[in-house]
């Protein structure tokens, strides 16, 4: 019998943690690193192998830590370097691994590098960031170097009065982009942001905005997709620039010395050959990437929030999953399975049914669906208990994310405070906003959900659903989403050749209510069937299904020929 030796990260399940919202242990209303450390036994009990800690570096927190002012320091409300050392040690003591966010497309405007860069045009670090002179129209009015729109709205260029030039920021003005064409800059990034933490014992990185480092040196205008706006969506222009492969190979040369794991955030990359260039085993650049076809479903094409809730059909979800799964069949690359992260609304509210009747069953169905897909599985904090979006009744003031605030202000400004347009904007945010992932973790039924003391104001309001969706309750119940997630991960490990490494074959692609697929590897065959609707549907036919056992399902008494609303089943035909 041939034993296949695979990299450790292929069969791993990764649990993502957002430090501010996980668990507060010192009573200041903000989650902290000791809160993560104290929860490691709980996390491991789910069946998780790796924790991914979102940015805990020192930061002004304009974008919740994705604006870093010091890569070698910890944001004081989260803790200290010593707290991080303890977290790393305790994670390893349990046989688990830990990865951090690597955020190096940009820094904070308060980072010492940028402070020096903007101090004068003659400063040695001037070229560490991207500076450009102004353009002028026929009337002599100053204009930015091009028409790119920031990911958070407005121009990607901000004017600097002192040095009389614009600097580039693909995100907030407080997040200036580093110049990756500068070798000296790259060396400093590698030393401070990577080697420092690898030497401390971290096992790898989730690499933020990994395909944005290299820009087209001509900085061309983006195509006009919104004729009413000065700035245009430029994602396809500034992503996947000419030096991306060179840069990633250079980074990998360092990472491989530590056997470090990398998963890159790779938006705006519809060309599969480009993805293969990044994650193919023979390319030796990244281990895998996140692609966003699934989580982008329903969002607006010009502005992601300019859309309506549930603005997609099930065949579109099937197509998106098929695209990322078929990647394994035709290449030497690896893929990921995820439906939640810190930038996405809650999956039960987006892809399931968060009403009291179907909330738990649809949460379990989604767990079975995404837990049966090939690649490395990622779970976001609270997903394991089926957390849902903030209530519709909450006011816009409860939305704290810079992206949400900027969008609502833009609609307010452009509509001249039109009540109907503002109501539509809030309805869209209630469905899609990043804020929903950032409400504090729901540990108990307490006023603040056990996240912090009941008499302590949390940094963000705890979702009132903590009364009936919380860890404490679900630990007691064998039929809870948490218990079901444990069973999903156990099934995934027991039948890993099918569910982790199997080839994905979509069945009945046009069925508007039922999602069914085969997972096949050699003579091992599994079939997954999910009713993604609130109505009863016919069980699809597949040869051999009648005589096969259901290894996992989310209803007590499955019918022979029909699926109950939001029912999911996994069959193993041969193994």
Cite the active site residues: 208, 265
Q: Which residues contact 314 (CB under 8 A, 6 or more apart)?
A: 511, 512, 513, 515, 532, 533
Hey, what's the torsion of the CAs at 443, 449, 452, 455, to 10 degrees?
-150
User: Which of 266, 263, 222 lies closest to 244, judged by CA?
Assistant: 266
| Strand partners for 563 | 537
Burial letters for 545-558: b for 16+ Cβ neighbours within 10 Å, e otherwise? beeeeebbbbbeee
Residue with tokens 């897909």, as numbered in its chain: 373
Output the six-digit token pair for 330: 């035709």
Instruction: For residues 202 and 197, give the distance between their C-alpha atoms in angstroms, rounded to a whole number.
Output: 6
Q: Which residues contact 259 (CB under 8 A, 6 or more apart)?
A: none
Q: Backbone dihedral region of 240: left (phi > 0), alpha (psi from -120 to 50 degrees) or beta?
A: left
What is the full DSSP assignment across 243-273? THHHHHHHHHHHHGGGT-EEEEE--S---HH
Backbone angles phi, psi at 363, to 5 degrees: -60, -40
Backbone angles phi, psi at 93, to 5 degrees: -60, -30
**How many Cβ atoms from other residues are within 10 Å of residue 111's Cβ?**
25
Instruction: For residues 417 and 406, give the distance between their C-alpha atoms in angstroms, rounded to a whole number.
Output: 14
Q: Which residues contact 262 (CB under 8 A, 6 or more apart)?
A: 204, 205, 206, 207, 251, 252, 255, 286, 287, 288
Instruction: For residues 338 and 376, give the distance between their C-alpha atoms in angstroms, rounded to a whole number.
Output: 9
Q: Which residues contact 408 (CB under 8 A, 6 or more apart)?
A: 396, 399, 422, 425, 426, 429
Burial letters for 503-513: b for 16+ Cβ neighbours within 10 Å, e otherwise? bbbbbbeebeb
Which run of H or of E encompasses 166? strand 165-168
Q: Which residues contact 495 (CB under 8 A, 6 or more apart)?
A: 524, 526, 551, 572, 575
């Amino acid at each position: 019998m041939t034993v296949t030796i695979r990299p450790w990260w292929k069969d791993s399940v990764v649990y993502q943690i957002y430090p501010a919202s996980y668990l507060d242990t010192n009573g200041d209303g903000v989650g902290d690193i000791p809160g993560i450390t104290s929860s490691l036994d709980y996390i491991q009990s789910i069946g998780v192998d790796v924790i991914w800690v979102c940015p805990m570096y020192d930061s002004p927190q304009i974008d919740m830590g994705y604006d870093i002012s010091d890569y070698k320091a910890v944001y004081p409300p989260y803790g200290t370097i010593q707290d991080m050392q303890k977290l790393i040690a305790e994670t390893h003591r349990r046989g688990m691994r830990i990865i951090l966010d690597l955020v190096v497309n940009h820094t904070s405007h308060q980072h010492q590098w940028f402070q020096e860069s903007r101090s004068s045009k003659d400063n040695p670090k001037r070229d560490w960031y991207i500076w450009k002179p102004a353009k002028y129209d026929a009337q002599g009015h100053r204009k930015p170097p091009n028409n790119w729109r920031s990911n958070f709205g407005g121009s990607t260029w901000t004017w600097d009065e002192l040095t009389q030039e614009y600097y580039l920021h693909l995100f907030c003005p407080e997040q200036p982009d580093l110049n990756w064409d500068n070798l000296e800059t790259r060396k400093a990034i590698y030393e401070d942001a990577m080697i420092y933490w690898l030497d401390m014992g971290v096992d790898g990185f989730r690499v933020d905005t990994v395909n944005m480092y290299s820009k087209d040196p001509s900085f061309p205008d983006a195509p006009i997709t919104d004729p009413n706006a000065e700035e245009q969506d430029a994602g396809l222009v500034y992503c996947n620039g000419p030096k991306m492969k060179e840069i990633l190979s250079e980074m990998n040369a360092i990472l491989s010395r530590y056997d470090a794991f990398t998963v890159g955030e790779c938006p705006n990359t519809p060309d599969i050959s480009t993805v293969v260039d990044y994650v193919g085993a023979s390319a030796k650049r990244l281990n895998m990437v996140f692609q966003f076809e699934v989580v982008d479903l329903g969002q607006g094409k010009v502005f992601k929030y300019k859309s309506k809730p549930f603005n997609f059909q099930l065949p579109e979800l099937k197509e998106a999953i098929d695209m990322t799964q078929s990647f394994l069949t035709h290449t030497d690359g690896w893929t990921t399975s995820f439906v939640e992260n810190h930038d996405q609304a809650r999956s039960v509210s987006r892809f399931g049914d968060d009403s009291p009747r179907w909330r738990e069953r649809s949460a379990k169905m989604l767990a079975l669906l995404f837990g049966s897909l090939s690649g490395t599985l990622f779970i976001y904090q609270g997903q394991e208990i089926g957390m849902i979006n903030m209530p519709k009744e909450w006011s816009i003031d409860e939305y704290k994310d810079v992206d949400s605030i900027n969008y609502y202000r833009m609609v307010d400004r452009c509509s001249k405070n039109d009540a109907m347009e503002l109501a539509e904007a809030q309805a869209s945010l209630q469905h899609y906003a990043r804020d929903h992932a950032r409400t504090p973790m729901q540990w108990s039924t307490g006023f603040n959900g056990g996240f912090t003391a009941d008499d302590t104001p949390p940094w963000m309001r705890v979702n009132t659903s903590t009364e009936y969706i919380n860890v404490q309750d679900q630990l007691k119940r064998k039929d809870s989403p948490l218990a079901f997630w444990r069973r999903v991960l156990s099934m995934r490990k027991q039948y890993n050749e099918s569910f982790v490494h199997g080839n994905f074959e979509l069945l009945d692609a046009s069925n508007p209510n039922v999602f069914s697929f085969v997972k096949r590897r050699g003579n091992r065959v599994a079939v997954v069937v999910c009713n993604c609707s609130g109505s009863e549907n016919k069980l699809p036919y597949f040869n051999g299904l009648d005589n096969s056992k259901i290894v996992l399902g989310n209803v007590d008494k499955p019918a022979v020929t029909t699926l109950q609303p939001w029912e999911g089943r996994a069959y193993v035909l041969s193994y």
